[in-house]
Structure 1
Amino acid sequence: MKLHCLIMAAAMVLPAGLALADGDPVAGAKVFKQCAACHTATEAKNKVGPTLMGIIGRPVASVADYKYSPAMTTFGQGKVWSEEELAAYLPKPKDLVPGTKMAFAGLKKPDDIANVIAYLKNPAAGGN
């Protein structure tokens, strides 16, 4: 029974991981325009939010010259922004990190999330 549950869980997670790998950075650049008022992905420059340049593989709440909320700092302890972590965060940031100062409600479409992640992995591929 445990093996059956493990196989079912893996079957449900695997397609989500494949979807992330298949994101379109050009489409992601268009979706990222919703984020651009507060973030940049092509410069090591903070705006209202921290730079997202190089976010994939970066420890959470680690941009040295950005003041994170206590909620994000606590959430980030020992975590790294992976594709999977971003995929969990982007649909409803305030649900994953209650108390975050990020006001954005989230991305609702799984394709938009996969595309933004593909763009964040390689902003140059987004055509910027």
Structure 2
Amino acid sequence: MFHIRRIFSCLALALTAVALVAPVSAGESLDMKLVQSHCAACHTFGKSEPHGQGPNLYGLIGRKAASASGYTYSSAIAKALGGRVWTPELLDAWLADTQAVAPGTGMTYFQDDQPTRSHLVKYFENLR
């Protein structure tokens, strides 16, 4: 009986290790999972999806800031970002501290973890 338990314990440990190092399928990438858990409560991401509490983020990188058609931006965002274009660097700064980029904005997201921000930025770089 002891050997059977030990075999099952070893098998469970091996399966866990394989799951941790196995590649994530394209439909369930880490980038997508992070965006869903960090951004989806307020934003949408599909090309023709309506805005949420925040603007739809499809095609964000390369787009003029505060320019999503049909979305009303706060004066704080319009003032701070007016005329700027979303770049990976600007998005990284925004995700690190929205209030430093646009003081007074209603978005109060702060992501201190650089690897997490990198995954989020990577997702939006590829969202076209």
The answer to whether the aligner puts 1:61 opposite 2:61 as a matched pair is no
Q: What is the distance in 1 between the residues matched to 2:39 and 2:72? A: 18
Q: TM-score, normalised by structure 2?
A: 0.71
Residue 32 of structure 1 aligns with which residue?
Answer: 35
Supply the AA of the counterpart residue of 1:39: H
Residues 71-86 of structure 1 aligned to structure 2 (within 5 Å): 71-86=76-91
Residues 43-62 of structure 1 aligned to structure 2 (within 5 Å): 43-44=47-48, 45-62=50-67
Q: Which has the larger radius of gyration?
A: 2
Q: Deviations over 1:18-43 (max 9, x none)?
A: xxxxxxx9222111122101011224
Q: Which runs of 5+ in 1 are unaligned?
A: 1-24
Residue 118 of structure 2 aligns with which residue?
Answer: 114
Residue 41 of structure 1 aligns with which residue?
Answer: 45
- 2:92 aligned to 80, 87, 90, which one? 87
Q: Deviations over 1:1-60 (max 9, x none)?
A: xxxxxxxxxxxxxxxxxxxxxxxx922211112210101122432000000000000000
Tell me how large the CA RMSD over aligned residues is. 1.7
Q: Percent of pairs identical after alignment?
A: 33
Q: TM-score, normalised by structure 1?
A: 0.71
Residue 106 of structure 2 aligns with which residue?
Answer: 101
* Secondary structure of 2:29's aligned partner: helix
Name the structure, 1 or 2, with higher relative contact order (CA <8 Å, separation 6+).
Answer: 1
